[in-house]
Amino acid sequence: MAKLSTLAEAVASISCEAHVALSGFAITRCTMAFAREVIRQGIRGLMVSQCVGAMDADMLAGAGAVERIVYGGGSLDRFGRLNCVNRGIEEGTLVAEEYSSLSMAFRYLAGSLGLPFIPIRSLRGSDVLRRLQEVASSEIGHVDDPFTGDDWLVLKPLVPDVAVVQVQAADEDGNAWILGPRWDNEEQVKASKRAIVITERLVPTEAIRRAPERTVIPGFRVSHVVHLPFAAHPTSVYRAYDYDADHIRQYANASKTPEGFLKYLDEYVYGVKNHWDYLELVGGMKHLTDLTADPILGY
C-alpha cells in the first residue's frame, strides 16, 4: 500500500477518541500542521500524550480536540505557559495525567518492549504520585522485587493508537531520520500501533540505504508519510529552520484568554484552506527563508 499521503488523508485516518502520541517538545519539532488539520477536520475526544507538553498539544487542547492529556508537565519555554492546557486543568474541562519526563519515557519504553509494566524510582513520596492515584489509579501499582523483596512503584506501558512524528527526512516507506536529540520520539513510535511521519524532506530510499545507521523510525512501523515543508512552524526543526519567535509570542499572548485563542484559530487555522495557504499567511517565502537554519549552527 502506498504510504505517501496528503496531510488531510493522514489526519482522516485518526478516529475520534484515539490515543495520539505527539513528537513536540515545548517549541521544537511540534506537529503543528497536523494539529491545525485535526482542528479543521473537527476530530475530538483525543487522548494526547508526550513526555514534555508542547505547543502542538496546547493548540489541540485549546480547540477542544483533547479529552485527556498524559504528559510530564510542559511550557512554551520562555515564551510562556501552555495556557490552553493549564486553563483546561484549572477549569476541570481537561483530564490531566501528569507524570515526570522519565516516567513518561519509561511508559513508552515499556510499550515499545511489550513489557507488562516497568519499575521506576521517580514519583515516590510526591504529590505528583498522589494526584495520579486519583486520576489514573489503573496506570500505577506496586510489586515486590522477586530477587530482593524490595517494594517497587510500577507503571503501565503506554501503547498509543498512533504516533505522529515530525522529522527532518524520510523516504516513501517512512524510514526516517531524526536529527538532534530525539527526546521520547523513538520509544513513542515503537510503543505505538502505527506511526504517521511528517517529513521536511522526502529522500530516495537509496539515501536511507547509504546511511542506515541514521534510521530512527523504521518504515515497517509507519502507515502514512506526509511530505510537508515547514510543517512544524512556528516551532523549530533542528538543522532545517529556527522557531518563529514573533509568531510564538503572538500565540502565547493570544492564548491567555479563550477569546484571544479562538481569534487566533479563526485567523491561522479555520481561515486557511491548507498548509500552503497558512505558509503564505505567516509571511510566505521571504519570511520562511529568513528562518532557514544555518548549516553549522543548526538553527
* Stretch of residues binding other proteins (CB under 8 A), selected from 26-34, 40-48, 58-66, 272-280: 26-34
Q: How many CA atoms lie within 13 A of 102 on its CB side?
A: 8
Q: In terms of C-beta density within 10 A (0-12 exposed, 13-18 middle, 19 or more buried), how is residue 21 classed?
A: buried
| Contact of 217 with 255, CB cutoff 8 Å | no
Nearer Cβ to other proteins, position 97 or 172?
97
Q: Compute the least distance from the CB of residue 177 to other proteins, in Å.
A: 12
d(C-alpha 162, C-alpha 232), whole Å? 18
* Stretch of residues binding other proteins (CB under 8 A), selected from 9-17, 92-100, 163-171, 199-207: 92-100
Residue 106 in the binding site for other proteins (CB under 8 A): yes
37, 187, 200, 244: residue in contact with other proteins (rule CB under 8 A) = 187
122, 223, 253, 274: residue in contact with other proteins (rule CB under 8 A) = 122
116, 125, 146, 212: residue in contact with other proteins (rule CB under 8 A) = 125
d(C-alpha 220, C-alpha 260), whole Å? 42
Residue 183 in the binding site for other proteins (CB under 8 A): yes
d(C-alpha 276, C-alpha 103), whole Å? 38
Cell numbers given for 296: 553549522
> Rule CB under 8 A: which of 137-156 touch other proteins?
151, 153
41, 126, 133, 289: residue in contact with other proteins (rule CB under 8 A) = 126
Nearer Cβ to other proteins, position 171 or 184?
184
* Stretch of residues binding other proteins (CB under 8 A), selected from 40-48, 122-130, 206-214, 259-267: 122-130
R_g (Cα) of the chain, nearest Å: 19
| Contact of 96 with 89, CB cutoff 8 Å | yes
- Strand, coil or helix: 184: coil
Torsion angle of the four alpha carbons 11, 13, 19, 20, in this order, in degrees rounded to the nearest 10: -30
- Strand, coil or helix: 72: coil
Residue 51 in the binding site for other proteins (CB under 8 A): yes
Q: Compute the least distance from the CB of residue 74 to other proteins, in Å.
A: 7
Pairing assessment for the beta strands 66-71 and 95-98 based on DSSP bridges: parallel
Length of the chain, in residues? 299
Nearer Cβ to other proteins, position 102 or 207?
102
* Stretch of residues binding other proteins (CB under 8 A), selected from 19-27, 168-176, 225-233, 276-284: 19-27
Instruction: Write out the residues near other proteins by the rule CB under 8 A.
Output: 25-28, 51-54, 71-75, 77-79, 81, 85-86, 89-90, 98-106, 109, 120-128, 131, 151, 153, 180-187, 236, 238, 242-243, 245, 293, 297-299
